[in-house]
Structure 1
Amino acid sequence: MITLESSAAFASAAAPIRNEPVQARSTARLATLLNSAAAVIDEIGYERLTTAMVAERAGASIGTVYRYFPDRIAVLQSLAARNVERLMGRADEQLASGRHDSALDAVLAINAVTIDLFRTEPGYRSLRAGDVLDLLPPTTEASANSLFAEAVSDALVAHYGVVDSADLRRAIGTAVEVIDALTARAFSRNPQGDPVLLAEAERAVRAVLADVL
């Protein structure tokens, strides 16, 4: 079993940052570089991103970029890892004991959090949990979504009195995939999200979880 906290740490470890920032100035500089990369990605897509573009948008030298990242792939992996951290952190808040009246409400809150990240977090629509990159180590057979689903299942069992079972974990895994796929589709052409597809995602999640929650 894994937790939301350990999942976030696991994903973050996959990002090859050359110099881990230890001072506030370095941490702020790294955040600026990643924010700049996210802004460029929102404009032109992750495929065309270059380290020179990151440097230009950040108002930094190319040497500053290479101080932290060996290449453009490392920039993308680090941004994807940050996206994972933010998803995990916000999901952890929603899954806290007593936050919602029921386990189903908690899962629907994760759906709402996912929509908000797609809508407000620069670069999230393109990279999300790193599904378009080789974010996880090659020895990891599970996908980022399946790890997230396991963490959600653990939290529901621990905080909402849900009975653990293979059926529960299968249903939560399906719900996570549905949320990810339909939300991504909803935002593929509409920066605010296609309301029909977003409503369909919630309806599908309710249907998938009807027999286990």
Structure 2
Amino acid sequence: MSTRIAKSNSPMRKLPRQGRSQATVEAIIEAGAHILGEKGWDDFSTNKVAELAGVSIGSLYQYFPDKQSLVEAIRRRHLDDCLAVMRGSLREGKAVEQFAEDLVRDMFAAHSINPGLHRKLLDEAQSSESMRDPNSAFEAEYLGHYTAAVAAYRTSRSGANERVAGMVLSDLMDGVVHNAARRGLLGSEELKQELIRLVRAYLTVAD
């Protein structure tokens, strides 16, 4: 995966501008994700990350002032993956059955890249206040995609609040997928099929 953290609210000390520095940052993030996923928060340290990444601790500190900022970069990359799933799922002209299938399978796939990492991000790693902000730019775009799905596919509009329905659909997806990660069930075809049916039924419900 490419480095996707060059944003105004980036946790990094400085942003990589050239190919070599971008490769260094990517190696650091990859090493950090591996150690956090395999060892957990208590064994996660900048020294271990630098060693695995093959860079000096000084090089790591050029970009990340502490291990919390590195965890935030790892978390933001995962959030970018989730946004990419939503953007891809809502292609124009797609039938609701295909939308539900693509959304569920692609979201499970995004969490299956490093399932141990997602369990640690959910339950062990500390998160910054910005990551918990329900009004963040990420939350606004993420919920916006679910709201757009409701607007595109829900068959009954009488008195429906599309934003509220989008939040329900988002929470439904996040709850099932995150708990699947916790339970080691990201590979369960039965669970995916059940969630696909649930998403499809919610979007085609008649009042």
Instruction: Mark the CA change 1:135 to 1:39 in structure 2 (over 3 Å): closer, same or farther.
Output: farther
Cα distance change on mapping 1:121 and 1:17 into 2, 3 Å? same
Residues 33 and 65 in structure 1, CA contact (< 8 A), matched pair in contact too: yes
2:38 to 27, 36, 43: 43
Task: Confirm or deny: 8 A CA contact 2:118 2:181 kept in the other structure.
Answer: no
2:51 alignment partner AA: E
Root-mean-square deviation (CA, aligned residues, Å) is 3.4
Q: 1:134 aligns with which of 115, 124, 128?
A: 128
AA of the residue aligned to 1:179: M
Q: Could you give the per-residue CA deviations for residues 90-127 of structure 1, whole angstroms, max 9, x where no partner exists?
A: 321221223x223x532442222110011124734443
Q: Which runs of 5+ in 2 are unaligned?
A: none
C-alpha contact 2:147 2:163 (8 A) present in aligned 1: yes
Matching residue of 2:199:
205
Q: Is the 8 A contact 1:187 1:193 kept in 2?
A: no
Give CA-to-partner distance per residue, 1:113-168, whole Å, 9 cap, x none.
Answer: 1100111247344437xx96236278x543755651223323664xx476987532
Alpha-carbon distance change, 47 to 114 in structure 1, aligned in 2, over 3 angstroms = farther
Could you list the per-position Cα deviations for residues 164-189 of structure 1 after superposition, in whole angstroms to 9, with x for gaps in the alignment? 87532222211211111111212223
Instruction: Provide TM-score, normalisation by structure 2.
Output: 0.77
Partner of 2:81: 86
Q: Percent identity, please.
A: 24
Amino acid at match of 2:175: A
Q: Hey, what's the Cα distance between the residues in 2 that align with 1:196 and 1:92?
A: 25
Q: Corresponding residue for 1:110? A: 103
Task: Give the aligned partner of residue 10 of structure 2.
Answer: 15
How many positions carry a matched residue from both structures? 198
Q: Is contact 1:36-1:57 (8 Å) kept?
A: yes
1:173–1:108 CA distance, 2 compared to 1 (3 A): farther
Greater gyration radius: 2
**What do residues 17-75 of structure 1 show as CA deviations (whole Å, max 9, x unaligned)?**
11211100111111111111111122022454211121121111111111100111100
Q: How does 1:1-213 map to 2 (within 5 A)?
A: 12-98=7-93, 100-102=94-96, 105-121=98-114, 123-127=117-121, 133-134=127-128, 136=130, 140-142=133-135, 147-154=141-148, 157=151, 160=152, 167-190=161-184, 192-211=186-205
Aligned counterparts of 1:88 and 1:64: Cα–Cα separation in 2: 30
| TM-score, length of structure 1 as denominator length | 0.75
Question: Which secondary structure does the structure 2 equivalent of 1:80 belong to?
Answer: helix
